[in-house]
Each structure stands twice: as structure tokens, then as C-alpha cells.
Chain A
Amino acid sequence: MKYSIFSLARAALSGHKKWPRTWRDAEPKPRYDVVIIGGGGHGLATAYHLAAEYGIRNVAVLEKGWIGSGNAGRNTTIIRSNYLLPGNIGFYELSMKLWETMERDLNYNTMVSQRGVLNLYHSDAQRDAYARRGNAMRINGIDAELLDRTAVRKMVPFLNFDNARFPIEGGLLQRRGGTARHDAVVWGYAHAADRLGVDIIQNCEVTGFVRDAGGRVTGVETSRGKIGAGKVGMAVAGSSSRVAAMADLRLPIESHVLQAFVSEGIKPLIPNVITFGAGHFYVSQSDKGGLVFGGDIDGYNSYAQRGNLPVVEDVCEGGMALMPIIGRVRLLRQWGGIMDMSMDGSPIIDRTPVDGLYLNAGWCYGGFKATPASGLVFAHLLARDEPHKEATRFRLDRFRRGAMIDEKGQGAQPNLH
């Protein structure tokens, strides 16, 4: 059933008793052309693009728990393509373009809201760095504007302009950036992939790889039995090292916890996405009214999906420093996601040294905005066995070659990215 206001109205007449499942509850088949491990946004988008663009429909997505239970459902929903370096910049812009047509592509309202992403600067040095970045964006055909203090004040007058430890001097604005409804992205891809024949199999944990005499991966062992596969793609950010270890691979990745926060719902206050340049804080407001905000990672290896108090305080301090009108708004809920922190802060999409096994990993905290492009380029790699043109720099061997894509210039120290 196609989703529209008309189908909704028709369904209302029958008391909404006839909606089909958003995606089928598929039983695993013995073999698929491609098995994707990980039913998050990236895995589901990969399956969708394999079916939609590359004609490969005998595909299964295996999810340990419920789809979207990993970082797809734990992020702060920001989409943007305001990157600096070759490799990232083209890739994230590809993603932005896919966000812009996603709802019609998937027939699912993922609430893509291009309300603008504003990165504040507080010094000449920060301004210069943003000027370099903004110009790089413009050269790549991406919208970017450098705002001065007056323009920022006009846009978001409620920020602390008068009494700040680090005065706001201006900002880099990407108007096409914004937010999307994270769960809906997962469900939308599941819905669209399912309609194209992809099997989405929940509660199916991969416990090992099946390999032939030559070492090639020919399938996976799962909690629901063995499943054969022509190719296996991993899209399990947060757990990449654990899954890769089953194929005796070590990755340039550490798992770290990133906390995120939402406040009680309030009437519209924040029109866009704002990042504070003088502290660890960024914020947007959901359509439901909650302020969705976050900051830095906790800084130590963790698989716990929960963080500790110093970062909670640090983030709220940033929030109050930036906009002291939220002092009486209450923090409602905090949670943690496990980030695949790569050694240069950029992702890895590549074949692995193990035949038949493909890797989509290392998203740090940039995974959500990458979802559509990640799916497309990973599908391309799985279908064609060569990198998509916007992913040629995301190779695993770039660390060996010294071709890091290090936007923050922090080096091989994952907790600093």
C-alpha cells in the first residue's frame, strides 16, 4: 500500500485495521547473493540501493536485535555536508542530495528538515578555519555562508551575545543542513527495501563466518542457523571490531561512548542546528519540542552504551554558556551510543583482506548524516567490486599509505577526533 494522505484517509474509514506491516517479518533463506550484517540505517540503505540501483534483490539484512537498535536510533539526527577535506566533502554532499529526495524515493516521510546548520566561531583563527572550509564547500558546489556577529544575532537572538566568556563573533552557515527523524530513516529504508524483495531478519545475531578452503567467506553462522552468502557486507558501526575479529581481522578502530541528551518538550525556540565553537555543545529542537543536544565523547574505550557524569556536566555547561535562557528547561533523558572511532576520524568503506567480506565502518559520530550515501556507495562496492567514485579515499589501506582524512588534525588518537 502506497503511503499518502489518501491512503491514510481511506484507512481511517476502516479504523486503521488493514495496514500491512511496514516490512515483512522474513524467515531466513538458506542462501542470499548478499548478506548485510547490521540492520541499522547503513545496512538497510545498502540493501535498498543494492535492490533499487544495482538489481540485486536476493539480499538479507541480519539484525541482532530490532532494526535501528544501534546508532541509527541513538544519534542527534543532524544532516549536513559542511566538510573540509577531499574524500569527505564529495561523499557527504552526495549524501545530502540523497536526503533531499529521500521521502519520495522511499515513500516514507523521514522528516528531512533543511533548517540550517550554524557553526559558531569565537576568534579570528576559528573564522579563518571556517573560511577555508566554507570556500572548500563552495568550490565543491555546496552552499555555505560566512556570517558575522550581527547576522548571527539576527538569526538566533537568544544566544549569549552580551556576557559570554568567549564572545560569538560569527558563524559558518549551511542552509541545506538540518535534521531528519532518525527512526523514520530506518523504517523508511526497511519499508522500501522490503518492497523490493529484501529480507529483513530481526533477532538474528551473527556468531561467526563460514569460510571455504581458500579462506573466502561463503556465509555466516547466526543464532538462527547458517546462512549462505555470495558476499557479506558488515555495517555494524560500534561493533565493527568485534565482528571483524570473527574473521581474524584487526581494524584501525576503537569503540567509544558518545552521550546525547533531550530536554522536556518546549514551544519552538531553536530554529536550526547550532554548534558552539568554544565548548562541547550542539543543539537542535525536535518537531516534538525537545531540545536535542550533545557534546564530546566520554573519551575512553567503552561498549557500555552509557556514559559518566563529567561529560553530562561539560555538555550542560556548554549549553548554559551558549544560551542561558535554557537554565530552567529540564534535561529529560540521556543515553549513550557506541561509536566506531577510526584513527583519522573518517569512515572506511572497502573490501577487506578476507575474500567475500566487505567493510563499512569507522563512522565516528558522523554516521547518521552519511546514511543514504553510505548505503549507495557500499551497495556499489558490493555489486561492482570497486569503490564508488565518491568513496575512493575511504580505503582501509590509507593508514598504511599515509593518506589519512583527518578533518580535526588530531592523528591516530581516536578519542580526540
Chain B
Amino acid sequence: MDHVIELKNVNKSYNHFSVSNVSVQIKKGFVTGIIGSNGAGKSTIMRMILNLVKPDSGDVHIFGMDYAKHEKSIKDRIGFIYSEDVLYDELTLQDQKKLIAPCYSQWDDTLFRQYCDTFELPLKQKLKSFSKGMKVKATLAIALSHKADLLIMDEPTAGLDPVFRREFLDIMQDIMLDGNKSIVLSTHIMSDLSTIADYITYVQKGRIAFSKEIHELQENYAVVRGGIELLDRDTEQCFLAIKKTRTGFEGLSANLNEAESLFGNEAVIEKASLEDIMYYMQGGKNVAVVN
């Protein structure tokens, strides 16, 4: 089985917002980053993957199983990290662990102690005295100690300082040494992703805009800057989105080679970062999305 997560034609609608026809496959053994602006539907998709929200229609398969029949065995193999606290403030980490450990069939107490040592987490202090970073580390220690095959993280590094973010990425890379483990994380912090993500899934307005290998993005997407006179109906087709300003235009192209042959030296062509891609595809202020 190559896919740990498979969503097929998944729909979910709310009053003012809907996720429509989402089909995604998450490959085993890799890190997949889910990106998109606030309210694009990332979190809804993450929650459907965890069965915290049920889709109106469509199939969700985790490890090839569905939640209706195999909820417990699926969740036994998932580790989760959320951006908000899901631990009891009045308990110590030790107490909290005692509640959670017996829930998992593969809990490894030695491993848990190792992580607590590495993360410098005090076992006997109430969780309410923990800083934000420590709380994330605590959830991380719990998520890593039951030998989960799939780690699902919703904005894990939100609100954390750069030093911890770097540590966090190191831990992720340690986990990825085991080719049977997979990680799915949604984030706003693009630099986190360019270091560890193998695949990027971009969610836009409740749909999957693309799901690609990170190289494809790095090699093919380009930002082109040039004078307005370079644009006409034909050349505009080269772009996914164009922003026109008084000094010229900026456009996002998904085809670096085409852009180079079209504009050559007349325009400045640079590789697009994930942030560039998000900004232009989002159709930010003054950005016209080309159909």
C-alpha cells in the first residue's frame, strides 16, 4: 500500500463555505505539506482526515481502512498535534501520560521518557505552568511515543520561536529515517516546508488547486517581472496570475521554460518561492487571476 491517506470526491458544506470534490492521496514514507490561506479549507480537510468532522459525501480511507468500521485501529496508529492545547491544565505531564498511555496498543514508556529528557519537559509540573513551546513538545512526546505510522499536525509550529522550529524540523527528520512513517502537516510557515516537505498540496477556496512534488514547484514555477508592453492576449496565457502596477507587471508562471523562451532577456525571471505561489494564486490585492 503506497498511500496512507486517500480522499476521494470528498464534499463538505457549511453555510458560507464549502469544501468540494476533494481528492488527495498522501504517499507513505514522505512528508506532505498542506498549504493555503486562512479559511481555504485546510483545517476542514485535516479534520476530515482525523474524523473530527464527517464529510457530507465521498470516501476517506486511512491506511486503506474507513472510519465507519475501523476507527479504533486507525487512530491507534495516528499521532496528532494541534495548534491549540488539548491537555488538561490542572494535571502534570506524568498524570496526563498515565491517562493516555493505556489507550494505545503500542505505547513505549521508555521512549516517552527519552523524549521528555530530550525536550527537557518536567514530568511533575502542572501543564498550566508550561509555555506554549513546552506544550507543543509535550503533545509531540505523546504523539511520538506510541509508534504512530502517521503523524498529523495542524499548524504545529504556529506561535513558536525560530529556535524551536528548527529543533522541531530536526525531530521530523529523525522520524523520517523510518521509511514506513508518514507526516502530514498544515502550516503557514513556508520555510518549514521547503526544508522537509516532499509533496505540497495547495488548498484554495475549498478545492485542491494542486498536489505536487516539491521539485516540480521549484523547477517550473517562476515569477516574471517586466514592462506592461510585453503583455498581450497571447503572452498573458503564460501566466496563472498577473499583477499590474505603474512600474510594470509581475506574473506567476507554472512553466519556467515557456516564460524564458517567450520573454528571454526582456523580463526578469526568477524561481517562485512557495510564498510567491500562494500570494499570486490567491489573487491578492491587484492580482488578476488568469483563467
A and B are interacting partners = no
A residues lining the B interface (CB < 8 Å): none
